[in-house]
């Protein structure tokens, strides 16, 4: 997002940053340098030519920077004043500090050495950009879990997980073959083949309680089935935010109806129960009857006492 | 255009290299590119100073002999200009690089890329193989995090429309003090100007743009604010007693302050933050959960159940 500088200012900033970069990467190919700074080769030659004219007052060959790039490879000398990179801006510093927070959440708890380094780096950057205190907290995904997932993904082996299924209200142990981490509506899921369910499943990362790499190479069966989709029709009675978010409907009006597809009957039943008098299921009739029955048996228990 | 850029670079180099303040006349004499009438040079220099400052380069103004009322001089301090992280190891460089890479495709991406470029210009090799983790992506849900962090740092007032639990759109005016993330959602905490109390808002529930304006002059950061406790809820006065079948009700168990075994069931004691939210969570669990106390919660659940039976009969 950053600030949008005018073209000459943007170029000035780029030239100032070019000097320390070349200094740390002497002999870098011109085209690689252009790629790093996201400009064309011609623009890079232009930039280097301009830099060549710069230096300390006096501007004799002794005071000018010495740039060599005619061979297609770039090196620099005699640029001591600009040799070190510029300090970070406020936004750059915040990006690093928040990124470190996120990183901290994924480091195993026994790597105290790394956790200390992260805290110290965060403090040093806060000091540079004058940030008074820590203003952010990133609640960790279980550190051991994310490390095991990383390992299983990179070595393509199976994973034993303990998973809290909210739909089924159960904690189950499963053996899965992880495929990738996917993001759905801002939430992270581990997309896997689950040997316990003999089907593909997505596991919400923060509901994986425990994960252990089994170092077992298994394959995904060819005939892995797909569950059947449930097509439902619902009626909105009392709209509220929970219903809107649960069914991903931004526009809810009392009295309106909408269709919704899901793979889980349990999820559908629980969602309607928890909405109370907020939403009612119209079809399918068998699930409608099941909800009525569930509610009646709960009610009976309250009436008995 | 090229000449202006050359002049800005030369000015930066001259002000960085000098050990004492340089006066304007010295600058005009020695730095290449200042030409024309005295007035033109003056204007050029003023604009150049503003330009360098807008790039984040601090130009100090001072006089090199405090005993005399000298002409003002200028310099750029090396220690302010340069990225100084002290002694830095290859492992630390790798940690910072991973931190920057986390923003790929998210709102701080551009700033993070610039920071990464500076890190790789420090001449310290990285050592990512020794790290037990790979880059994790930040997901900011489309929220404008740079605007929010700037508002926190400058104690600005932010105004936005927030979707409350009844889907009403309310305008909120908040001085933000903290930013947090949990389970993939981002939250702003801040002092709600209407009630002068700290409230926490989930960023994806903000409808439309956030605007930032100058904050109240007398704003003081509340002493009681602890960013680590944003999700703990307020100290609750009342508790619910809820029976949960063994091996069930994990979401409720996670909230319980105590649990007692009753054979086939466990009896949990739960703090009540919001009666409606708790009722909804109890209903989600169906026949595996049963409320004993308080009476209002039982009443609320019974009322919902009667409607549910009616609506689905």
Give the domain ranges of chain A: 7-82, 90-128, 143-213, 230-304
pLDDT of residue B132: 66
pLDDT higher than 80, residue A94: yes
d(CA A99, CA B287): 43
Tokens (6 digits) for B136:
């994790």
Residues of B in contact with A99 (CB under 8 A): 98-103, 108, 112, 138
Of the partner residues B92, B99, B177, the one whose CB lies closest to the CB of residue A135: B177
Q: Is A28 on the interface with B (CB under 8 A)?
A: no
Are B132 and A297 an interchain contact pair (Cβ–Cβ within 8 Å)?
A: no
Q: pLDDT digit of tens for each residue in chain B (313 aa)?
A: 688 999 999 999 999 999 888 988 889 988 888 988 989 999 999 999 999 998 889 899 887 666 666 678 899 999 889 998 888 899 999 999 989 988 887 888 999 999 999 999 988 888 776 676 666 667 676 778 889 988 988 889 999 999 888 888 899 999 998 888 776 678 898 999 998 888 889 888 898 899 999 988 888 877 777 766 666 666 567 899 999 998 888 888 888 888 899 889 999 999 888 888 899 999 999 999 999 989 999 999 999 999 999 999 8
Residue A2's pLDDT band (cuts 50, 70, 90): very low
The average pLDDT across A135-157 equals 72
CATH for the stretch A143-213:
2.30.30
Q: Residue B140 falls within a domain, yes or no?
A: no
Q: Residue B136 falls within a domain, yes or no?
A: no
Q: Residue B138 falls within a domain, yes or no?
A: no
Are B308 and A295 an interchain contact pair (Cβ–Cβ within 8 Å)?
A: yes
pLDDT of residue A185: 63
Q: Residue B97 falls within a domain, yes or no?
A: yes
pLDDT of residue A196: 83
Residues of B in contact with A2 (CB under 8 A): 110-111, 114, 146
pLDDT, tens digit, 9 for 90 and up, residues A19-44: 999 999 999 999 999 999 999 999 99
Assign a CATH topology to domain A7-82.
Arc Repressor Mutant, subunit A (1.10.10)
pLDDT of residue A204: 87
d(CA B221, CA B225): 8
Q: Is A237 on the interface with B (CB under 8 A)?
A: yes
CATH number of B10's domain? 1.10.10
Which one of B214, B232, B250 terminates a domain?
Answer: B232
The average pLDDT across A132-149 equals 67
Q: Is A62 on the interface with B (CB under 8 A)?
A: no
Whether B10 and B74 share a structural domain: yes
Q: Residue B279 falls within a domain, yes or no?
A: yes
pLDDT of residue A4: 53
pLDDT higher than 70, residue A134: no
Neighbours of A304 (CB within 10 A): 6
pLDDT higher than 90, residue A288: yes
pLDDT of residue A181: 76
Whether B126 and B194 share a structural domain: no
Range of the domain at B282: 239-311
| Cis peptide upstream of residue A25 (ω within 30 degrees of 0) | no
Nearest CA in chain A to B297: A302
How far CA A89 is from CA of A22, A128, B87, in Å, comes to 21, 9, 20
Are A169 and B288 an interchain contact pair (Cβ–Cβ within 8 Å)?
A: yes
3-state class of B289 per DSSP?
strand
Whether B161 and B221 share a structural domain: yes
Are B102 and A102 an interchain contact pair (Cβ–Cβ within 8 Å)?
A: yes
Nearest CA in chain A to B49: A9
Burial of B145 per CB tally in 10 Å (0-12, 13-18, 19+): buried
Long-range (24+ apart) CB contacts under 8 A made by A262-270 are A262/A229, A262/A230, A262/A232, A263/A227, A263/A228, A263/A229, A263/A230, A264/A167, A264/A230, A265/A230, A265/A290, A266/A167, A266/A168, A267/A167, A268/A230, A268/A232, A269/A294, A269/B286, A270/A167, A270/B284, A270/B285, A270/B286
CATH number of B269's domain? 3.30.70
Distance of CA A266 to the CA centre of its chain: 29
Q: Residue B205 falls within a domain, yes or no?
A: yes
**What is the ipTM score, two decimals?**
0.79
Residue A259's pLDDT band (cuts 50, 70, 90): very high
Which one of B232, B264, B290 terminates a domain?
Answer: B232
Q: Is A126 on the interface with B (CB under 8 A)?
A: no
d(CA B176, CA B201): 10
Beta-strand runs (E) in chain A: 28-29, 66-68, 73-77, 136-138, 159-165, 170-184, 187-194, 199-204, 208-213, 230-236, 257-262, 279-283
pLDDT of residue A284: 92
d(CA A131, CA A136): 11
Q: Residue B139 falls within a domain, yes or no?
A: no
Lowest mean pLDDT segment, chosen from A2-16, A91-105, B255-269: A2-16
Whether B182 and B165 share a structural domain: yes
Which one of B183, B216, B232 terminates a domain?
Answer: B232
pLDDT, tens digit, 9 for 90 and up, residues A150-190: 788 877 788 999 898 887 888 889 999 888 777 666 677 88
Number of domains observed in the structure of chain B: 4
Whether B7 and B42 share a structural domain: yes
Whether B297 and B244 share a structural domain: yes
Q: Is A136 on the interface with B (CB under 8 A)?
A: yes
pLDDT of residue A192: 87
Residues of B in contact with A53 (CB under 8 A): 6
CATH number of B206's domain? 2.30.30
The answer to whether B226 touches B256, Cβ cutoff 8 Å, is no
Q: Residue B105 falls within a domain, yes or no?
A: yes
Are B114 and A106 an interchain contact pair (Cβ–Cβ within 8 Å)?
A: no
């Amino acid at each position: 997002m950053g600030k949008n500088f005018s073209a000459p200012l943007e170029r000035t900033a780029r030239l100032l940053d070019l000097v320390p970069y070349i200094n740390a990467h002497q002999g870098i190919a011109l085209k690689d340098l252009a790629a790093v700074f996201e400009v064309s080769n011609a623009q890079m030659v232009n930039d280097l030519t301009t830099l060549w004219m710069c230096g300390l007052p006096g501007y004799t060959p002794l005071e000018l920077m010495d740039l060599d790039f005619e061979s297609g490879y770039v090196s620099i000398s005699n640029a001591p004043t600009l040799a070190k990179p510029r300090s970070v801006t406020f936004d750059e510093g915040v990006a690093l500090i928040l990124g470190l927070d996120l990183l901290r959440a994924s480091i195993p708890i026994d790597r105290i050495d790394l956790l200390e380094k992260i805290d110290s780096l965060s403090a040093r950057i806060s000091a540079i950009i004058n940030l008074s205190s820590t203003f952010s907290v990133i609640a960790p995904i279980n550190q051991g879990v994310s490390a095991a997932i990383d390992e299983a993904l990179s070595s393509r082996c199976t994973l034993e997980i303990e998973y809290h299924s909210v739909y089924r209200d159960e904690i189950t142990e499963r053996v899965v073959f992880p495929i990738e981490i996917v993001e759905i509506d801002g939430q992270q899921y581990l997309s896997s083949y689950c040997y316990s369910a003999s089907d593909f499943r997505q596991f919400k990362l923060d509901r994986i309680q425990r994960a252990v790499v089994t170092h077992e190479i298994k394959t995904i069966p060819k005939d892995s089935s797909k569950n059947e989709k449930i097509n439902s029709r619902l009626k909105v009675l009392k709209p509220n935010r929970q219903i809107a978010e649960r069914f991903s409907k931004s526009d809810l009006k009392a009295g309106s109806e909408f269709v919704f597809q899901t793979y889980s009957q349990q999820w559908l039943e629980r969602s309607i129960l928890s909405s109370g008098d907020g939403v009612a299921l119209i079809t399918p009739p068998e699930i409608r009857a099941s909800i009525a029955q569930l509610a009646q048996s709960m009610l009976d228990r309250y009436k008995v006492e | 255009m090229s000449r202006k850029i050359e002049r800005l670079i030369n000015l930066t180099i001259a002000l960085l290299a000098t050990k004492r303040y340089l006066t304007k006349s010295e600058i005009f004499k020695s730095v290449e590119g200042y030409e024309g009438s005295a007035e033109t040079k003056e204007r050029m220099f003023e604009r150049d100073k503003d330009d360098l400052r807008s790039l984040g380069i601090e130009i100090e103004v001072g006089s090199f002999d405090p005993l005399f009322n000298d002409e003002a001089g200028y310099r750029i301090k090396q220690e302010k200009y340069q990225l100084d992280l002290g002694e830095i190891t290859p492992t630390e460089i790798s940690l910072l690089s991973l931190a920057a890479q986390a923003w790929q495709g998210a709102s701080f991406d551009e700033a993070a890329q610039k920071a990464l470029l500076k890190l790789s210009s420090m001449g310290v090799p990285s050592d990512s193989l020794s790290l037990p983790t790979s880059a994790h992506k930040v997901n900011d849900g489309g929220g404008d995090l740079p605007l929010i962090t700037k508002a926190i740092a400058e104690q600005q007032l932010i105004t936005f429309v927030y979707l409350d639990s009844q889907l009403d759109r309310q305008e909120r005016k908040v001085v933000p003090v903290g930013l947090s993330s949990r389970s993939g959602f981002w939250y702003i905490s801040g002092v709600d100007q209407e009630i002068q109390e700290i409230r926490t808002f989930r960023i994806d529930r903000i409808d439309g743009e956030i605007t930032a304006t100058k904050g109240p002059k007398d704003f003081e950061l509340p002493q009681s604010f602890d960013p680590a406790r944003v999700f703990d809820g307020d100290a609750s006065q009342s508790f619910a007693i809820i029976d949960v079948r063994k091996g069930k009700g994990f979401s409720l168990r996670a909230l319980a302050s105590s649990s007692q075994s009753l054979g086939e069931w466990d009896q949990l004691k739960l703090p009540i933050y919001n009666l409606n939210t708790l009722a909804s969570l109890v209903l989600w669990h169906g026949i595996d959960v049963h409320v004993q106390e308080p009476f209002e919660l039982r009443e609320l659940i019974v009322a919902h159940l009667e409607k549910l039976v009616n609506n689905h009969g």
